[in-house]
Amino acid sequence: MQNPCAMRNFSFALTMSAATSLLLATGCMSELEPLDATPPGVSPDTDSLPGSQPATDGGTAAPLPDAHVVVPDAAPPPPPCMAMNGNTVTQDPLTGHCYMFFDRLKQEEDARNACAAYAPSTHLATLTSQTEQDRVRAILGETEAWIGYGDALNEGSFVWLTGETSAFTWWAPDEPNNGGNVVEEDCTVTNAQGTDGKWDDRACTMTYAYVCERDR
C-alpha cells in the first residue's frame, strides 16, 4: 500500500483546510510544517507585500512622494532694548547686544536663571573685551553685580557660561583668590568695591545685583 504521507505531494491541489484534515488523520502532521512556508523552489513574492514599492521596468526606482517641507515661522523680533521696571540698559550699536542691569539681590544661580527667563538668547553678561566691560560699567553706578564667569567645574580655570573664549580679564588686584581658600569662591562680580568695574570671585551663594546680556 502507498505510504499515506506521500499524499502530501498532492496536497497543493487541495485547499489548505482539506490538506490539514487529511494529514492530521494520517498522523503526518509533522510533515505539514513545510506547507505553512513557501513551497520548495518558489521564491517569496516580496513585491506583493503590503507597503512595498512595485517593481518597475528597467530597474529604475519609482519616484518617491514629495517630501513634506516644513517652513518655520519667522523668529519673533526681540524685545526692544529699553529700561523697564527700574533696570538700566545699554546697547552695543555694532553687535546689537543689549545689557540690562537688575538692581535686585540674588544668588548667582538664581540670577543666571532670571536672565535666561527674561528674554530669548539672554544670559548673565559675558564681558570678553574692554569695550564690553566699559559699556556695562557705565550702567552699574557703584553696585557690584554678577557676570557669567566662574570656575566651579575646575578650580582656578574661569570660563564664560556661554562657552565664549577670550584673553580679556579685568580682575581687581590679588583676585581671583578663591576666598583665600577659606571660603569657596567660584562665581564673579564686576565692579568689585565699586571701583573701575574690576572683577572679584565671590561665593556663589552670596547675593548681588546682576547684569544680563541679550545676544540679539
Task: Identify which range of 16-24, 100-108, 110-118, 177-185 contacts Ca ion by CB under 5 A.
Answer: 177-185
Query: What's the number of CA atoms in the CB half-sphere (13 Å) around residue 128?
Result: 14
CB of 147 to Ca ion, least distance (A): 14
Could you give the CA distance from residue 211 to residue 79 in angstroms, rounded to a whole number?
17
SS3 content of the chain, % helix, strand, coil (to 5): 30, 20, 50
Could you give the CA distance from residue 114 to residue 9 in angstroms, rounded to a whole number?
81
State the burial class of residue 126 (Cβ atoms within 10 Å of its Cβ: 0-12, 13-18, 19+).
buried
Q: Is 186 in the site for Ca ion (CB under 5 A)?
A: yes
Instruction: Specify the residue for cell string 526692544.
Output: 80
CB of 108 to Ca ion, least distance (A): 12
Could you give the CA distance from residue 86 to residue 38 in angstroms, rounded to a whole number?
81
Three-state SS across 143-170? CCEEEEEECCCCCCCCEECCCCCCCCCC
- Residue with Cβ nearer Ca ion (151 or 213): 151
Please report, as residue ranges, which positions from 65 to 94 form the binding site for Ca ion (by CB under 5 A).
Answer: none
- Please give the angle made by the CA atoms of 154, 157 and 163, to the nearest 5 degrees: 90
Chain mean position to CA 147: 24
Per DSSP, the three-state class of 42 is: coil
Q: Is 38 in the site for Ca ion (CB under 5 A)?
A: no
- Residue with Cβ nearer Ca ion (117 or 153): 153
Q: Is 128 in the site for Ca ion (CB under 5 A)?
A: no
Q: Is 185 in the site for Ca ion (CB under 5 A)?
A: yes
Pattern 193-212, Ca ion, x by CB under 5 A: -------xx-----------
Task: Identify which range of 8-16, 58-66, 70-78, 192-200 contacts Ca ion by CB under 5 A.
Answer: 192-200
CB of 155 to Ca ion, least distance (A): 5
Task: Identify which range of 17-25, 27-35, 159-167, 174-182 contacts Ca ion by CB under 5 A.
Answer: 174-182
Please report, as residue ranges, which positions from 133 to 172 form the binding site for Ca ion (by CB under 5 A).
Answer: 151
- Residue with Cβ nearer Ca ion (186 or 213): 186
Q: Is 132 in the site for Ca ion (CB under 5 A)?
A: no
Judged by CB under 5 A, the number of residues near Ca ion is 8
User: In the complex, which residues of this chain contact Ca ion (CB under 5 A)?
Assistant: 151, 175, 177-178, 185-186, 200-201
